[in-house]
Chain A
Amino acid sequence: MPFGLLKYALSKQYPGERHFPARKELRPSYDVVIVGGGGHGLAAAYYLARDWNITNVAVLDKGYLAGGNTARNTAIIRSNYLTPEGVRFYDESVRLYRDLANEFDYNLMYSERGHFTLAHTDAAMRTARWRAEVNKHLGVRSELVYPDEIARICPQLNMSRDVRYPILGALYHYPGAIARHDAVAWGYARGAHRRGVEIHTHTEVTGFDVDNGRVSAVRTNRGTIKCGKVLQAVAGMTSVVAGMAGFKLPIRTIPLQACVTEPVKPFLDPIIVSGSLHVYVSQSARGELVMGGSVDPYSLYNTRSTLDFKEELIMHMLELFPFIGRMRMLRQWAGMADMTPDFSPVMGETPVQNYYIDAGWGTWGFKATPVCGKRMAETVATGKVPDLIAPFALERFYGFAQVGEKGAASVGH
């Protein structure tokens, strides 16, 4: 054996440290119990510890860490929404994302690519112009661009007029980015763990004890734990868990499918989205084309894939990029998305006291991970809902004050 290798065997630095220690027993009580160990739950735990010095916190997940929608999205980060409430909220998220790798000392592979939302109809052009103006007004860099400009920035796109849906223009969003989604969750988990938060995977919540309208304990398959406050962040299973606490939500669970091609050399820099064609695509650092389309046509608590979805997606993809016809598909998967009637999330207080909710993340959850974690931590710590997320309260549906978000992806408007 070469002696050079011995120094690695004898060094204390190898193998590297474990991110998280082996699972401990649950304590009998916690100040805050976070149900759901995905990006959102872990981010909330991290900011509770970092900003509010609340570290007697347990994050529970019935599966493994960040194995739900955190690992199933297409990792796009942007803030070019339509409603001022949405733009402000996602803009803070983009700004937090930019500093995150540095803060974690962990490579998130955050990569700003520029983001095109293609318009194929006059109506889509109007919406693009509207979004560009709302964005600029709030200091977000978005512009309406025309075919010559699109062809200059992304020469790979098929700009032919001789297709079913020719490209008339696009909303170009400069800060549009992609990141490695697992790393975002792991970075938050490690940061939270180092500050004293306990992360318990394979711990399923089976119910809640509610006394006089106030949550007092969380029942799990590993025993009952007393809690001061609960934060629920379980995209996909939101209605089921909220049902255990005794309230209902304006949410339907609908699968969102995605797939990747085999990896090829880098050729596509920007992120391309088309609302009319129900396509979004970017090329990952690994070289795979990561593709998604519209949500499934009906509700389902299942992550199966369908041929119908692939047929529609690829039909449109081939119109935009005819030369990918010979590429092979490598993987397919689905996530269960919480769809709300107005395409905006549901955040904040619930009918149960001390029980907070982070839900309704439909197709827009990953990009909101940092801001949602930060603001939900503030809500849980202070008991007051910050202005930034107040418009997204569950109460809005009872006051007929929805936040109609036409900037949401993969849904028909």
Chain B
Amino acid sequence: MKIMKCPMNGPRNISEFVWGGEVREMPDPTAASDHEWAEYVFIENNTKGVVREWWMHAPTSYWFIAERNTETDEIVRTYPATELYNSRREFK
């Protein structure tokens, strides 16, 4: 059994977590061209090595950020999303 440390719930079985993909900056939806938007939606870095990703602890619906090595399956660090995003973002 593989264990992941949830910043809110502590160490839990990896099967309780949902992978949310890489953390990326979203382009401005109103200003971005179709090409830029398609790139944001579909194109992946698919990095081999340490990546910063969104994960969710499903039973508590808690989203957080994990740094994970995609070559060794090692979870380097997990932390609350507030460490990266600390101000409210409005979408018009």
Contacts and interface: CB of A to CB of B under 8 A. Distances in A.
Contact of A300 (B15, B38, B39, B70): B70
A3 interface: no
B70 A249 contact: no
A317 to B, nearest CB: 19
Interface in B50-72: 70-72
Interface string A232-265: 0000001110000000111111000000000000
Contacts of A107: none
B42 interface: yes
B38 A297 contact: no
Interface in B33-87: 34-35, 38-39, 42-48, 70-73
A308 B34 contact: no
Given A302-B71, A308-B1, A398-B35, A297 B43 contact: no
Contacts of B44: 239, 248-252
A297 B35 contact: no
Nearest to A253: B46
Contact of B73 (A300, A397, A398): A300
B51 to A, nearest CB: 8
Contacts of B35: 398
Interface string A281-323: 0000000000000000111111010111000000000000000
A151 B15 CA distance: 35
A400 B40 CA distance: 12
Interface residues of A, number: 24
A139 interface: no
A266 interface: no
A341 B47 CA distance: 17
Contact of A397 (B14, B43, B48, B70): B43
Contacts of B38: 397-400
A114 to B, nearest CB: 35
A304 B73 contact: yes
A250 B48 contact: no
| Residue of B15, B44, B45 contacting most chain A CB atoms (<10 Å) | B44
Interface of A: 238-240, 248-253, 297-302, 304, 306-308, 341, 397-400
22 contacts: A239-B44, A239-B45, A239-B46, A239-B47, A239-B48, A248-B44, A250-B42, A252-B21, A252-B44, A252-B46, A253-B48, A253-B70, A297-B15, A297-B18, A298-B19, A300-B73, A301-B48, A307-B1, A308-B2, A308-B14, A341-B42, A397-B42
Given A300-B70, A400-B34, 8 more contacts: A238-B46, A248-B44, A248-B45, A300-B71, A301-B71, A302-B70, A302-B72, A306-B2
